[in-house]
Amino acid sequence: MSRHHDDHGGSGATHPVATFVAGLEAALKDLVDVPVWSLDGESTDDLLARVIGARAGLAELEARLITHAEAIDRPGSIGARWTSAWLRRLVPLTAGEAHRTSRLARELDTHEQTRIAAAAGRVLPDQAQVIVAAVDELDPEHRDLAEKHLIAEAQHHDAKALKILGRRILEVIDPARADAHEARLLETEEARARKHTTFSMYDDDQGLTHGRFTLPAAQGSMLRKALTALAAPKHVRATDGAGAYDHEKPTPQKLGQAFAEYVERFPTERLPKAGGLNAAVIVTMTLDTLLGGLEVAHLDTGVDLSPGQARRLACEAGIIPAVLGSPSEVLDLGRTRRFHTPAQRLAIGLEQQHCQTPGCETPAAYCHVHHAHSWQDGGDTNTQDARLHCPFHHHQLHASGQAHPIRR
């Protein structure tokens, strides 16, 4: 039976809900200046628990009022498309809070047991949402019993623990199907996580790169474990010396430094090829810089390095000798193959440094190698006739049939 149009014998100021709200407001006003210092410990614990329970009951009443407002189209009366938008016109809620509040109203309206438990203060709002989500994943035949069980468990478990219990609820009410049900829930959750995985970075031109990422929980735990190992006191003491940063719990700063070390140490041979080369970052420097000089070094991604950091990277990761024409590196294969070798790619990148289309500064690491004299027309696969072009301009070049001289 719908609760939207229940008649309690009055409306407006005479309605029982209006009387309750007025009394609550008055009582809270009377308590503003009442000191609580005289309460003993047990009384404080008891009252605090009861107040939190009462807050849950108020959340249920709030949800009922929102449901009623939707039934009589109060959002539509101000032209609001969504209940959350109407709520924000009534009170200064954030968009997220308004959305969560209106969602809880819909959930309690369709789950009577949970609504009654919330009204009695036995289920907190975040627990109610967990219960509803768990119950809705079940077949209809199991929902009533599962809802009753989870409401009882809410007295002993917070929302996070209750979510785990909800996933395994069939172990209690239908053990034979519990494993398959949990596996299906996990597969759905993992698919949702993959869909919402993101990663973004930007440079602030002050020597720092900032970023944000969202990972599936499994991969997030792997990253956390790796960084914690690199930031662990034993590892820090081994790399920085005894007494250096000798702490027991990694700080955000040490985790950030561990992440930088993680990036440097990742084995590049395991990465896919980018532009024909392993996705290793190449440090270009003069012999003088390597031996202690002060000349700036460069990465093939377009970033400049201080001489000190360049020498450290050369020491940590090793460098590929960029001796063009070395007997150990065949840089001109003529017509023996169409695609440039990694050695040729390296030589071309070191010489040309970026996309050869005028005005484009895309670093060599992200460019394709283009045959200035088309291979199909008899051109050689060598470094003299090669041109670097970013993917966009490479495609454009082939579409137009034009060529660009090497930029110096």
Query: What pLDDT does residue 338 have?
Result: 45
Query: What pLDDT does residue 408 have?
Result: 47
Per domain, the residue ranges of the chain are 12-194, 217-266, 272-282+320-408
Backbone angles phi, psi at 98, to 5 degrees: -65, -40
Q: Assign 86 a pLDDT band (cuts: 50, 70, 90).
A: very high
pLDDT at 77 over 60: yes
Query: What pLDDT does residue 71 have?
Result: 93
Backbone angles phi, psi at 393, to 5 degrees: -75, -25
Rounded-to-integer distance, Cα 180 and Cα 170, Å: 10
Q: What share of the chain is helix, strand, coil (3-state, %, to 5)?
A: 55, 10, 35
Biggest distance spanned by C-alpha atoms of the chain: 100
pLDDT at 371 over 90: no
Query: What pLDDT does residue 363 have?
Result: 82
Predicted confidence (pLDDT) per residue in 282-296, tens digit? 666 665 655 566 666
- Better-predicted residue by pLDDT, 234 or 106: 106
Q: Assign 83 a pLDDT band (cuts: 50, 70, 90).
A: very high
Q: Residue 389 has what DSSP assignment?
A: E
Give the tokens for residue 158.
């917070």
> Among 68-77, 115-124, 208-217, which is the least confidently predicted range?
208-217
Backbone angles phi, psi at 9, to 5 degrees: 90, 15
Rounded-to-integer distance, Cα 345 and Cα 329, Å: 11
Instruction: State the average pLDDT over residues 229-256.
Output: 64
Instruction: State the average pLDDT over residues 110-120.
Output: 93
pLDDT at 389 over 60: yes
The mean of the pLDDT values for the chain is: 76
Q: Assign 238 a pLDDT band (cuts: 50, 70, 90).
A: low
Query: What pLDDT does residue 397 have?
Result: 72
Q: What is the CA radius of gyration of the chain?
A: 33
Predicted TM-score (pTM) of the model is 0.51
Q: Which of 53-62, 218-227, 354-363, 396-405 has the highest mean pLDDT?
A: 53-62
Helix (H) or strand (E) holding 210, with range, is strand 209-214
Backbone angles phi, psi at 273, to 5 degrees: -80, 145
Rounded-to-integer distance, Cα 167 and Cα 184, Å: 10
Predicted confidence (pLDDT) per residue in 299-348, tens digit? 666 667 676 666 656 554 434 433 233 443 433 433 344 456 677 777 88
